[in-house]
Structure 1
Amino acid sequence: MPERFSEFDFGVTGLAALFHEDWSHFGAPEDVVAAYLSPGDEPCAGELLRKEAAALESDLTALGDSGLDDRQIRMLWTAATGGNFRFRDTESGRDLLLLLNMGCRGWQQLHGVASVDTNPGWNTESLVHDLGQAVAGAELDLPDYYPLDRQEMDSMELRKCLLICSRTASVELAFRLLLRIQLANFMPIHQKSWAAYQRISRSLSLGEYVLSGLDFLVEGQ
């Protein structure tokens, strides 16, 4: 399997980490994209950042084109940001994806476009099955303080969203969303689940730190 461009989380799940309690200090959601892809003190964006932008655009497009409805996209994004992103009443899930994608494409117009890492082995029926088993065994109970449609945002609904994502967007994206949701909400990870995550991560050629950042959530570690 080819190596990824990054050893860390990336794409829409990497972006979700910036939507913490103080994310509005960046400005609008598209400003968070600019901060996420910022080259910092470097005079221009390098190949790795262009790869990051490509992965982000790919994720956003895959979610927008998936079989998830707007409510389900809102649910996944709310969970992936630990409840820190509050949708406006009239704002749909795809409205947000469009804003984020506009920010990403504007960045690419300034800094250039790179290819997306792809491999047929990262989206097989076997992995869809393995991801389904992992989702079924995952701890996905959300905190009581959640702001959006709390009565509908239960673990069963989250599992359903992740499975739809795996089948109609990509297994890899669904897996990274599963990990991001558990990390953002400090959900415990069972030893059996952790072993399954390690197998899936290896099959997807994900970087070392995509999983290791969740070590502290694993029971008995």
Structure 2
Amino acid sequence: MTGRQEPYYVDYDADFGLSGLAEAFTLSPAPEDTGAALALVTAKLDAYDRECPVGSVEHLSADERSILGYDTSHDDWGYAEELREDVRGLVESPLADEAIRAVWRAAAGGGWDPAAHGMSARDWLRRIDETCAARPSRKVPGRRPAPGSWWGAWRPTADEVRDDVVAEIAGIAGIAEAAETRSCRELSTGFLPSPDILAALEEVAARVHPELGFRLFLRALKVYSVRIEKARYDRFQALGERFGHPAALIDLGLDIAWPPIDTARRDATWDFGFSHLAGQAHQDWRESREEIRKTAAGDDFGQTPGSAAAVLLEDTLRLLRSALPDAAVTALWTGASNSPGRTDGRDWLRLIADVCRERLREAAPAYTPVVAPARTELADTVLREVRETAPAVADKAASPHWHPVPATDVMDALEHVVTRIDPDLGFRLFLRVLITLSVPLTREQYDRYRAIGERFGYGEYHVSDVDHLIEAG
């Protein structure tokens, strides 16, 4: 392995470095000559400079940059430096030139082959490096976290993650080798990279750096449109999280074999469904189709497309089909959202349901909405929490400056939901009401809420939405 520094990629929101450059080659017509290829490199760097203008944090002192997690010892770090680090790692590695060429061509879609233009793969990478080096210094903070920052202390070393990356590449390689014996590398809707390409990618992960190998491996899978099963995708996301990659780096362009939508599967990290929609509202919110659609289309990374609309529709149908009076629906929405009170409770629910069905027709046309039986085993537990809080908010009102709704009406509506509709939905709305009414919590209450959330299967950060309400001391 070369003396590559730890990667500096924490602030990116998509692919970057050599794999990000390779993506740009897949999205552009094949360059006719070396000059055109290098112009594409320059265009990629220019695009980054436009998105991240120089001097955006120059006003910060060294201490302030350190507090924010920037590496104050390296203030000239930008996309060009990220790219140069990837390039130098490969150029200085013990990999054969043919292996580097195979990796580049696989990641870039084969549109630009340096050998066809009289260059070795290393010569091509050196030309990229020269193009980056010729650019003016960016003078922006680096992306390597300060040694004492949370990420600097937590990020894995190359040795800690190398075997896991190699194992994922080897898993695909095993499929490719088996397919070779059948003289067919087709897998689902895509084609597997050849065993030689996958072997070269393994070499990058093992002998250059696992993080670079992982990004180039993902890029090759996307180029070849290899269909990835959900379990493997989840492992990719777990690896990306260890590297500090944004979830979009794995997701965008990857062909995933999603399982059918299942509204009982709790795979959202944060809130979801009707309570999540209420949490998006605020005093200036326009309760319109467009606002609903944003939430209905807001599938989390790792969720089957259409999941957000399906769980929102299920919550909405539960309320629509219940005996909850219109005034109680209005009180419930106002209490959970703190937006101006509505007087057309069921019309609002019907609009939400219509928008969810529209989204599902686009994202999951084969899905048939089904309202599963409510999980009632926690009804008494949730009801105790609602009733314990009710006296503390008796003199409060939701949306007090617009169309006030007495908190007593909100709590009554919550009791109805918990006892007669769905304790899960009732508890999620209860958490929203706590925020709306700024209800102070004890540590003991919060811990009980966390325990309830765990029993319902909520995501890691769902209940933590209310942790700011815990009283000091």
Matched, 1:37 2:71: no
Query: Contact 1:122–1:172 at 8 Å: present in 2 too?
Result: no
How high is the sequence identity, in percent, across the aligned residues? 23
Structure 2 portions without partners, runs of 5+: 1-7, 57-75, 146-151, 177-191, 259-303, 305-473
Query: Which residue of structure 1 lines up, in the alignment, with residue 86 of structure 2?
Result: 59
Deviation at residue 22 of structure 1 after TM alignment: 0.9
The equivalent position to 1:219 in structure 2, one of 254, 257, 261, is 257
Give the root-mean-square deviation of aligned CA atoms.
3.3
Q: Conserved in 2, the CA contact under 8 Å of 1:54 and 1:113?
A: no
| 1:78-130 CA distance string (max 9 Å, x none) | 100111112334321101001111111112x3645764537684433231111
The DSSP-based 3-state class of the residue aligned with 2:115 is: coil
Q: Distance in 2 between matches of 1:65 and 1:187?
A: 30
In the aligned structure 1, how far is the partner of 2:48 from the partner of 2:212?
27
Of 93-102 and 188-197, deviating more is: 188-197
Does the 8 A contact of 1:5 with 1:117 survive in 2? no
Is contact 1:58-1:116 (8 Å) kept?
A: no
Tell which deviates more after alignment, 173-182 or 110-119. 110-119
Correspondent of 1:125 among 159, 175, 196: 159
Give the deviation of 1:173 after TM superposition: 0.3
| Selected match of 2:231 from 192, 201, 215 | 192
Determine the C-alpha separation between the residues in 1 that align with 2:103 and 2:195: 12
Q: CA deviation at 1:171?
A: 0.8
Residue 161 of structure 1 corresponds to 200
Distance 1:193 1:37, change over 3 A: same
Q: Given the alignment of the two structures, is residue 70 of structure 1 paired with residue 97 of structure 2, yes or no?
A: yes
Taking a change above 3 Å as real, the CA distance of residues 123 and 23 of structure 1, as seen in their structure-2 partners, is farther
Q: Which position in structure 1 is the counterpart of 2:122? A: 94
- Helix, strand or coil: the match of 1:218? strand
- Structure 1 runs not aligned, ≥5 long: 142-152
TM-score by length of 1: 0.80
- Describe the shift of the 1:113–1:94 C-alpha distance in structure 2 as closer, same or farther (beyond 3 A): farther
Change (3 A) 1:189 1:39: closer
The 5-angstrom pairing of residues 95-114 of structure 1 reads: 95-107=123-135, 109=136, 111-112=138-139
Q: Do the aligned partners of 1:166 and 1:174 also contact (CA within 8 Å) in 2?
A: yes
Number of the residue aligned with 1:148: none
Are residues 1:16 and 2:18 paired? no
Question: Under a length normalisation based on structure 2, what TM-score does the superposition of the two structures give?
Answer: 0.40
Give 1:30's aligned amino acid. L
CA distance in 2, matches of 1:75, 1:213: 23
Task: Please say if 1:85 is aligned against 2:112.
Answer: yes
Note the alpha carbon deviations across 1:31-51, whole angstroms, 9 max, x for none.
112100115895x94269952
Structure 1 residue 138 displacement after superposition: 2.5
Is the contact between residue 77 and residue 140 of structure 2 (CA under 8 Å) also seen in structure 1?
yes
Structure with bigger RCO (C-alpha 8 Å, 6+ apart): 1
Where 2:244 maps in the other structure, the secondary structure is: coil
User: d(CA) in 1 for partners of 2:17 and 2:48?
Assistant: 18
Residue type matched to 2:29 in 1?
A: D
Could you give the per-residue CA deviations for residues 52-90 of structure 1, whole angstroms, max 9, x where no partner exists? 111111111111112211101110011001111123343
Give the secondary structure class of the aligned counterpart of 1:36: helix
What is the SS of the residue equivalent to 1:28?
helix
Distance 1:67 1:129 in 2: 19
Larger radius of gyration: 2
Aligned partner of 2:106: which letter?
A: A
Cα distance in 1, alignment partners of residues 84 and 9 from structure 2: 20
Query: Hey, what's the Cα distance between the residues in 2 that align with 1:45 and 1:64?
Result: 30
Q: Aligned residue for 1:182?
A: 221
Q: Is the 8 A contact 1:39 1:45 kept in 2?
A: no
Give the total of aligned pairs: 208
Q: Is 1:12–1:59's contact at 8 Å kept on the other side of the alignment?
A: yes
In 2, the alpha carbon distance for the partners of 1:80 and 1:61 equals 17
- Quote the offset at 1:208 in angstroms: 2.5
